Structure 1
Amino acid sequence: MFELALAAADDTPRPVAEIMASAPDTAWREADPEDILVIETPNGPITVLLSSVLAKNHVRQVRTLAREGFYDGLSFYRVIEGFVAQGGDFTEEKEHGGAISLPAEFEEELPEGAEFTVLDVVDGYAPDVGFIEGIPAGRDPEEGTAWLAHCTGAFAFARDVEKDTASTEFYITLQPQRYLDRNLTVVGKVIDGIGVAQAAPRGYVFDGEEARPEIFPDRLTISGFTIAADMPEGEGPRWQVMDDRSETFAELVAARKARPSDFFYFRPGHVDLCQMPVPVRKVD
């Protein structure tokens, strides 16, 4: 566990823009290309940072399906305003060699050596909230378990009513949906292109139990689903994630709580988990 060393209450933090502009290179870590997923669509790419700590079986399945080309040519077939954009094969007819129904990874013990950075706020959905390598997460210290949280842009596996039924279908949350925490397996978060998912045409191909794609003909298609490590050398995107254990991130949290800008007359002194995204930056 790592506790953020925030500024004292009587200290006025610098504005966010100033903190970001002066952030040292040591405050950033480069994401492993194996953990970067690029979903290509006609409206632009959606880039996902996959978890390197939790939900390892689900993450492995994402990589397997990506490398099989399973998602190529499929679509976001269930897009609900203010909720999720769900994609995959609604026909359940497309062949896949490596996908199985997975045991749920709703919450797990943190692997040895993994760090949970605690955000010192009161949260209604978890005893502790914070970050695991830049991804928002919850934790129950009494049970010794942790899980990734459904903030905006959570990338997760859909399932049937039975818990161990996630296989190929995924969704992206368009807004925070924290009540889903510990009920479905989150495997990462969107770090770029969330607007593409949020702007996807709304609709659903199912009419009751029957699949009728003609009732949702303008759905957003998936033209590619690629792990960055599999792209030709020099063509894969490189991303850096701010170290959530760094002094720079602690100062950002203090600034988000204090809102030191002259624009603010009421300063809440509070920030919730989903309003405190860990910064990322693309490396050219």
Structure 2
Amino acid sequence: MIAAALALLAADALPGTPTAAEIMADAPEGAWVAPDPEDTLYVDVPSGRIVVVLVPEMAPRHVEQLRTLAREGYYEGLHFYRVIDGFVAQGGDESGEKDKGSAAQTLAAEFEVPMPAGLAFTPLGHADPYADESGFVAGQPAGRDPEGGTAWLAHCTGAFAFGRDEGRDTAATEFYVTLQPQRYLDRNLTVLGRVVLGMEHLQAMPRGALGTAGTIEDERRWTPIESVTVASDLPRKDRVPVEVMDTGSDTFRRLIEARAARADAFFYYRPDHVDLCQMPIPVRLTPAQDGE
């Protein structure tokens, strides 16, 4: 009887409005895309692999720098040494003394760029305090200034970006991943991609103290970076068979609508709004291509 009474009190699903789960169940194969291996980065730590998808059109100099550093083994033997709870996990050379090889000593900022003609921008369709218009580009959350014609990748959870000093053109090798949304950093640092798999490894890293700006004082608690590899440098059989939903697809547009509508019976109050960083971009693993 208690269960029956609770059922009577339950919210009603919105008739005729599909839920996100229903849309995902009907998603066609054409709604999924495999990231270009040349734009996919593997960061290996003792607990597992972190998979990052880069968008060279949105930060070409930084992506090229990262590929160069990875291919020359710059990050091997370095660490995640600065981790702030609810903020970022930062990796690289804490001393700043390691030779950069053939990579650039510093990089000109790419906080925002002219909106690339070859990339589609899918509007979120909801107000955003950090951008005139927010939406998605190449499977990544982004903002844009329609009047100025510029766009940038947003600091949602998993944003992969280069750190810098106070000077805008001082980024070189240090990278960080946001552990939660940090939108106030948009257009202040260069975001060049996002983590699509492996956030659990970053979330589990030991934290530093606020008094040390998150730098972990005991070096024994730093998380080793075993390797940073461009996926195209590995045989296909050794790559992670990941696919990301095409944010330009009709399926993803329907997911945005469903996320805002909250048609599930669980919801009593439906705000008819979705925040950019609360709009998940689906990722899936496909069967491995053994022997290739």
Q: Same fold (TM over 0.5)?
A: yes
Matched with 1:181 is 186
Shift of residue 239 of structure 1? 2.0
Residues 173, 214 of structure 1: CA spacing in aligned structure 2 closer, same or farther, 3 A cutoff? Answer: closer
Letter in 2 for 1:186: V
Given that 1:35 and 1:51 are in contact with CA atoms closer than 8 Å, whether structure 2 keeps it comes out as: yes
Give the Cα separation in 1 of the matches to 2:77 and 2:272: 47
Shift of residue 96 of structure 1? 2.1
Matched with 1:128 is 133
Give the Cα separation in 1 of the matches to 2:151 and 2:15: 32
Pair 1:261-2:261 in alignment: no
Given that 1:108 and 1:147 are in contact with CA atoms closer than 8 Å, whether structure 2 keeps it comes out as: yes
Letter in 2 for 1:164: D
Given that 2:50 and 2:197 are in contact with CA atoms closer than 8 Å, whether structure 1 keeps it comes out as: yes
Residues 160, 39 of structure 1: CA spacing in aligned structure 2 closer, same or farther, 3 A cutoff? Answer: same
Shift of residue 116 of structure 1? 1.3
Residues 221, 258 of structure 1: CA spacing in aligned structure 2 closer, same or farther, 3 A cutoff? Answer: same
Given that 2:89 and 2:176 are in contact with CA atoms closer than 8 Å, whether structure 1 keeps it comes out as: yes
Matched with 2:196 is 191
Matched with 1:252 is 255
The structure that is helix-richer by fraction is 2
Matched with 2:38 is 34
Classify the secondary structure of the residue corresponding to 2:136. Answer: strand
TM-score normalised over the length of structure 2: 0.89
TM-score normalised over the length of structure 1: 0.91
Given that 2:144 and 2:152 are in contact with CA atoms closer than 8 Å, whether structure 1 keeps it comes out as: yes
Residues 228, 110 of structure 1: CA spacing in aligned structure 2 closer, same or farther, 3 A cutoff? Answer: same
Letter in 1 for 2:84: I
Classify the secondary structure of the residue corresponding to 2:63. Answer: helix
Classify the secondary structure of the residue corresponding to 1:85. Answer: strand
Structure 2 residue corresponding to 1:146, chosen from 148, 151, 154:
151
Matched with 2:91 is 87
Given that 2:77 and 2:225 are in contact with CA atoms closer than 8 Å, whether structure 1 keeps it comes out as: yes
Pair 1:70-2:74 in alignment: yes
Letter in 2 for 1:153: G
Matched with 2:51 is 47
**Unaligned ranges ≥5, structure 1:** 1-9
Given that 1:203 and 1:216 are in contact with CA atoms closer than 8 Å, whether structure 2 keeps it comes out as: no
Give the Cα separation in 2 of the matches to 1:96 and 1:17: 47
Residues 119, 272 of structure 1: CA spacing in aligned structure 2 closer, same or farther, 3 A cutoff? Answer: same
Deviates more, 1:143-152 or 1:217-226: 217-226
Cα deviation code 1:22-60 (max 9, x no counterpart): 110111122101111111011111111111321011011
Residues 277, 53 of structure 1: CA spacing in aligned structure 2 closer, same or farther, 3 A cutoff? Answer: farther
Give the Cα separation in 2 of the matches to 1:114 and 1:242: 15
Aligned residue pairs total: 272
Given that 2:242 and 2:286 are in contact with CA atoms closer than 8 Å, whether structure 1 keeps it comes out as: yes
Larger Rg over CA atoms = 2
Matched with 1:7 is none
**Unaligned ranges ≥5, structure 2:** 1-13, 288-292
Structure 2 residue corresponding to 1:56, chosen from 56, 60, 64:
60
Pair 1:224-2:227 in alignment: yes
Give the Cα separation in 1 of the matches to 2:253 and 2:122: 10
Classify the secondary structure of the residue corresponding to 1:234. Answer: helix
